[in-house]
Chains A and B, each alone.
Chain A
Amino acid sequence: MSCNTEKKIKSLWFIIGIFVLGGIIGLLFSFGVAVGVEKTSGDKFCTMCHTMQPMANSYYRDAHGGNNINGVRAKCVDCHLPHDSLANYLFEKAKTGLHDVRVQNFGDLESIDWEDKRKHAKRFVFDSGCMNCHANLQNATSSNTKAFIAHKEYFEKRTDKKCVECHKNVGHHILGDYIKK
């Protein structure tokens, strides 16, 4: 075996090694990210800031917060992040997260008018989130006249109204009362 061939084999192993190691590191990293994304998606993380406590309390009393016969609970991000694409989801998560950290630490929390913010709920509640869970809504309501009429224009895409523009308190039982306290 010539010196050259030995070198070649060595460097081949080296390259393979890099890929394997890179793969392992990548897996560990993405596992970490996935865990991180998961751990920062629910009420426990979001209420680390006391600012969010009224939203959490009203959420616990709502069907979406587990107050239903099956105890099923939607996580904060199920409604408050878009679910149309992974990239959009992660981007919005990073953006919202950074914004909240900034305002929580450097902003004037007292001056936030939460009631006013509720008027613009459609900006931070995403229909793709709603439809991710309520995937069968269209079929389920088409035989119920009352629900069908209310959703007809939405599913026919003849209105640009978002879910939360009609379902005002959804997710947070009587949110207005909790914000005032």
Chain B
Amino acid sequence: MLKRMLFIFLSFGVIAFAANVGDLTNVKTLKVDRGLTEAGKSCVECHAKLTPGHVNDWKESRHGHVGVSCIDCHSVKKDSPMAAQNCEGIKGTEIFVSSLVSPKTCERCHPNEVKEFQQSGHARAALQIQAKEGMISLMEYFEGRNHPDLKHSPEATGCMQCHGSIIKLGKDKRPTAETWPNYGIGNVYPDGGVGNCKSCHSGHKFSIEEARKPAACASCHLGPDHPDIEIYNNSMHGHIFNSEGSTWKYDSAPDAWEPGDYRAPTCATCHMSGIGNLKTTHNVSKRLKWNVWMPISKTREGGYETAVKDFENGKITKGNALAGNPDGSAVARTEMEQVCVSCHTTTHTKNFFNMADKHVELYNTYATDAKKMIDELTKKGLMHKDKWSDKAFKIWYHLWHHEGRRMRQGALMGAPDYAHWHGVFEVQQDIRELKIIYEKRIKSGKIEE
């Protein structure tokens, strides 16, 4: 008897547990009636049961507060390339929707944010990959082994998760598995929209607090080639954030998020926020003096990013690697210094950038020497045809793409371990190795086995 009771008791426990685990939210019986259209209401009410996570996020968002609901962003005109009626509730009606929401929708209410974004380096993220033959061959041919069925997995699970993809649709107007889902920042949508607001303001809640925290940038800006979150953590800014950032205020209005709300900057503070006289911008390249990701660093004198404009004119291009401030790199630096001096003295700021700039220039001397050796070897036919199995090429690649970026980015963002041990120390080791191979090949006139 006792056993049976215990068993029944346990069964109830298991059932109750299972019932609650699936319950992500308390919105299952949501009834809304505050200025939404009939269709808008029925989306919210039905999706509260179907996809409670989505509705729960929306419920806590500013969009929810001002009456912008599912249908306002997800509905498209019947003649849109993305128009579908896969949802049972709208089949046969005049309403067409798409799971994809392109920046062309966001810009109806946020035109300046989208425009600034499109003038920034972020906007080229997906297009530049498609424009570079070398990138496609690395992803599909070398990494994907040119396998007829499997060759797209490296880009779908890797590159485009951050960079974004040119999203393709299947017959049912649903996006293909090769191109979506991803949180890539430079997504290209079938309606021609470029960009992805939810990369930083994750879907359905679109929170400003979330985007202002380093975590928003960290999911992409990490790892051997641009360890920006590690760099941040290594810096004094990151140290302060990590010890007390949970107590700061993140929801002040744009242009009004000032020191005091926080005690150290996050990524957003320096690269985007309005501080003092500086205006908020979604152009993350606007305050950058240098391009620190290319093989050799140049100052950013290219004005605005051009990839989106090119795409609108029917071309897929690499964009403008030297995009930055429309008034040139000196103004960009002045703007960044304006951020710094809201907490630091001018001497502190100037001295810091003085030495950081020298570190970038020092890197350039290494890169120039290395490039000269590679160019000469290439000219003399002393490089492997398959460059990924060429030792000299691999050293050069790591020198600029990994060690060199860490050296430069570490210096410009105050991260000693990255500027030095992961940076210049590795770079000087690389160039020694490269020089040995170079001299061997020049002397013998052939590629070593």
B19 at the interface (CB under 8 A from A): no
Q: Are B66 and A149 in touch, CB under 8 angstroms? A: yes
A145-B66, A145-B67, A159-B115 known; A150 vs B109 contact (CB < 8 Å):
yes
The contact string, 1 if C-beta is below 8 Å from chain A, for chain B 66-109, is: 11100010000111100000000000000000000000000111
B378 at the interface (CB under 8 A from A): no
- Which residues in B have their C-beta under 8 angstroms from that of A154? 111
What band does the interface of chain B fall in when counting residues whose beta carbon is under 8 Å from A? 10 to 19
**Interface-located stretch among A10-18, A85-93, A166-174:** A166-174
Q: Are A153 and B66 in touch, CB under 8 angstroms? A: no
Cβ-defined partner of A177 (8 Å) among B35, B79, B111, B115:
B79
Q: Are A150 and B108 in touch, CB under 8 angstroms? A: yes
- Which residues in B have their C-beta under 8 angstroms from that of A149? 66, 68, 109
Dominant secondary structure at the A interface: helix
- Considering only residues 137-161 of chain A, those with a C-beta below 8 Å from chain B are 145-146, 149-150, 153-154, 158-159, 161
- Jot down 21 A-B pairs with beta carbons below 8 A, ordered by A: A119-B312, A145-B35, A145-B66, A146-B66, A146-B72, A149-B66, A153-B111, A154-B111, A158-B111, A158-B112, A159-B112, A159-B115, A161-B111, A166-B108, A169-B77, A169-B79, A174-B77, A174-B78, A175-B79, A176-B77, A176-B79
- Which residues in A have their C-beta under 8 angstroms from that of B68? 146, 149
Dominant secondary structure at the B interface: loop
Cβ-defined partner of B35 (8 Å) among A119, A146, A150, A168:
A146
Q: How many Å lie between the Cα of A153 and that of B192 in the bound state?
A: 22
Distance between A138 CB and nearest chain B CB, rounded to angstroms: 16
Distance between B152 CB and nearest chain A CB, rounded to angstroms: 28
What band does the interface of chain A fall in when counting residues whose beta carbon is under 8 Å from B? 10 to 19
Q: In the complex, which residue of chain A has the Cβ closest to the Cβ of B66?
A: A145
Q: How many Å lie between the Cα of A133 and that of B108 in the bound state?
A: 21
Q: Are A159 and B111 in touch, CB under 8 angstroms? A: yes
- Considering only residues 1-46 of chain B, those with a C-beta below 8 Å from chain A are 35
- Which residues in B have their C-beta under 8 angstroms from that of A176? 77-80
- Which residues in A have their C-beta under 8 angstroms from that of B67? 145-146
- Which residues in B have their C-beta under 8 angstroms from that of A169? 77, 79
Distance between A137 CB and nearest chain B CB, rounded to angstroms: 15
- Which residues in A have their C-beta under 8 angstroms from that of B115? 159
- Considering only residues 102-158 of chain A, those with a C-beta below 8 Å from chain B are 119, 145-146, 149-150, 153-154, 158
Distance between A88 CB and nearest chain B CB, rounded to angstroms: 25
Distance between A18 CB and nearest chain B CB, rounded to angstroms: 57
- Which residues in B have their C-beta under 8 angstroms from that of A146? 35, 66-68, 72
Q: How many Å lie between the Cα of A154 and that of B109 in the bound state?
A: 9
- Which residues in B have their C-beta under 8 angstroms from that of A153? 111-112
Q: How many Å lie between the Cα of A146 and that of B78 in the bound state?
A: 23
Q: Are B66 and A174 in touch, CB under 8 angstroms? A: no
- Given A166-B107, A174-B79, 15 more pairs with CB closer than 8 A: A119-B312, A146-B67, A149-B68, A150-B109, A153-B111, A153-B112, A158-B112, A159-B111, A161-B107, A161-B111, A166-B108, A169-B77, A175-B79, A176-B77, A177-B79
Distance between A116 CB and nearest chain B CB, rounded to angstroms: 9
- Which residues in B have their C-beta under 8 angstroms from that of A177? 78-79
Distance between A62 CB and nearest chain B CB, rounded to angstroms: 12
Q: How many Å lie between the Cα of A141 and that of B367 in the bound state?
A: 58
The contact string, 1 if C-beta is below 8 Å from chain A, for chain B 223-252, is: 000000000000000000000000000000
Q: In the complex, which residue of chain B has the Cβ closest to the Cβ of A161?
A: B111
Q: In the complex, which residue of chain B has the Cβ closest to the Cβ of A119?
A: B192
- Which residues in B have their C-beta under 8 angstroms from that of A161? 107, 111
- Which residues in A have their C-beta under 8 angstroms from that of B192? 119
Q: How many Å lie between the Cα of A169 and that of B75 in the bound state?
A: 13
Q: How many Å lie between the Cα of A159 and that of B68 in the bound state?
A: 21
Q: In the complex, which residue of chain B has the Cβ closest to the Cβ of A172?
A: B79
Q: How many Å lie between the Cα of A168 and that of B107 in the bound state?
A: 13
Q: How many Å lie between the Cα of A145 and that of B112 in the bound state?
A: 19
Q: How many Å lie between the Cα of A154 and that of B112 in the bound state?
A: 10
**Top 9 A-B pairs, shortest CB-CB distance:** A176-B79, A159-B111, A166-B108, A174-B78, A174-B79, A161-B111, A169-B77, A145-B66, A150-B109
Distance between A56 CB and nearest chain B CB, rounded to angstroms: 16
The contact string, 1 if C-beta is below 8 Å from chain A, for chain B 114-150, is: 0100000000000000000000000000000000000
The contact string, 1 if C-beta is below 8 Å from chain A, for chain B 289-331, is: 0000000000000000000000010000000000000000000
Q: How many Å lie between the Cα of A168 and that of B83 in the bound state?
A: 14
Q: Are A168 and B111 in touch, CB under 8 angstroms? A: no
Q: How many Å lie between the Cα of A154 and that of B66 in the bound state?
A: 19
